[in-house]
Amino acid sequence: MLAAAAIDTRFANISNVLVYSAMAVFLLAFLAYAAEWTFGGRSRVARQSAALAGRGSLAETVASAEAEAARAGQAPKVAVTVTRAGGGTTTLTRTVAAKAGKIDVVTRGDAAPPVDGVGASGGDEGADRLGRIAVSLTTLAALLDLCAVITRGISAHRPPWGNLYEFTCAMTVVAALLFVGLIAAGKDVRWMGLPVTFGAVLGLGIAVAVFYTDSEQLVPALHSYWLWIHVSGAMVCGGALYAGAVAAVLFYAKDVYEQRRAQDQIQGGWWSDVFDRLPAAATLDKWSYRINAFVFPLWTFTIIAGAIWAEAAWGHYWEWDPTETWAFITWVAYACYLHARATAGWKGRKAAVLAFIAFACYLFNAYGVSIFINGKHSYAGV
């Protein structure tokens, strides 16, 4: 058991100042990402001109292929070079058919690999500069938030996630540091900056306005080293699962957009330009799956650790307390998502819907149960 100690109000006050500072910097980062997406649309005309030029080159190549095939009495074919996302090219041979004055390139064999959008900046130097500033602000805000969590723990001489206020502050740190870590590792995920900073501002705003409680000691049942293990695992899962849910939602929207564009149902406009700059639907789907698949074993471990802690505190591993029940429901929801990914009829949009539902279950488990349902885990502090 952890021994109780007097509250150090100085560190508690410092933590409060750091939380408000982190929220302000997260807001600045959010505005910078929004500006990057907005001003990145200025390069749309240049990108459309390049696309039209590319179509002209393809048309000339097709015409040449048709003439040569006519002389040889064979079906015309053309070699198309496709640029892969992340660099590199692939040359694909396609059969060409002329229909009603239009040129169709008929795919045979493997489909062309998906091509990611150019990113939020749209290739515009000024917008790209705003994006890099936004990443720097996100890093600063994450460090301020981390210091706020640490000083909160120092003030109470215990792990700084004993109630919903502290839990929310710590979870925003995890989400922000995960994003910054991926950027530092060279991953092209700056498109995630806008939803990550939005979630951080919203989370910290709700934390200080609704969940705030003064730094204080915990109830006796929480004075255990399992608090470090169980709750920290739940926090890491929450921050990562938020990123996975964002990727799933964006995948669903981008997949609908790509289908409508393939059917010539897109009229253009600002939203069309935004979707064009996002990664391909297949890339977003891959990110969602990888994040959720990586977190699922950690969530499993978190539930097991909680059961061990419950036995030490109350003498029972599992009593179907509301929090325990919803933790199991969340586990089942993510298990269904992972199973759906392996089932042909449930891949794509159906799996994305399951991912979103599973994250909603996590949120209700972390917040809804503590606020609306009384149980042994009702330590919200509100």
pLDDT digits (tens, 9 = 90+) for 20-58: 999 999 999 999 999 999 888 766 544 554 444 444 444
SS3 content of the chain, % helix, strand, coil (to 5): 70, 5, 25
Which region holds residue 369: left if phi is over 0, alpha if psi is between -120 and 50, else beta? alpha
User: 5 vs 144, which has greater pLDDT?
Assistant: 144
pLDDT, the chain, mean? 80
Q: What is the per-residue pLDDT for 272?
A: 81
Lowest-confidence region among 110-114, 130-134, 243-247, 327-331:
110-114
- Contacts of residue 337, defined as CB under 8 A and 6 or more positions apart, other chains included, come to 292, 351, 354, 355, 358
pTM score of the predicted model: 0.78
Find out whether 77 and 94 touch, Cβ atoms under 8 Å. yes
User: 313 vs 54, which has greater pLDDT?
Assistant: 313
Q: What is the per-residue pLDDT for 119?
A: 84
> What confidence tier does 121 reach under pLDDT thresholds 50, 70, 90?
confident
Find out whether 358 and 337 touch, Cβ atoms under 8 Å. yes
Share of the chain above pLDDT 70, in %: 75
> What confidence tier does 304 reach under pLDDT thresholds 50, 70, 90?
very high
> With 90 as the cut, is the pLDDT of residue 185 above it?
yes
Q: What is the per-residue pLDDT for 87?
A: 43
Other C-beta atoms within 10 Å of 221: how many?
A: 15
Query: What is the arithmetic mean of pLDDT over 152-164?
Result: 86
> With 70 as the cut, is the pLDDT of residue 90 above it?
no
Q: What is the pLDDT of residues 333-379, one digit of tens each?
A: 999 999 888 877 777 888 999 999 999 999 999 888 888 877 666 55
CA angle (182, 255, 236) in 5-degree steps: 30
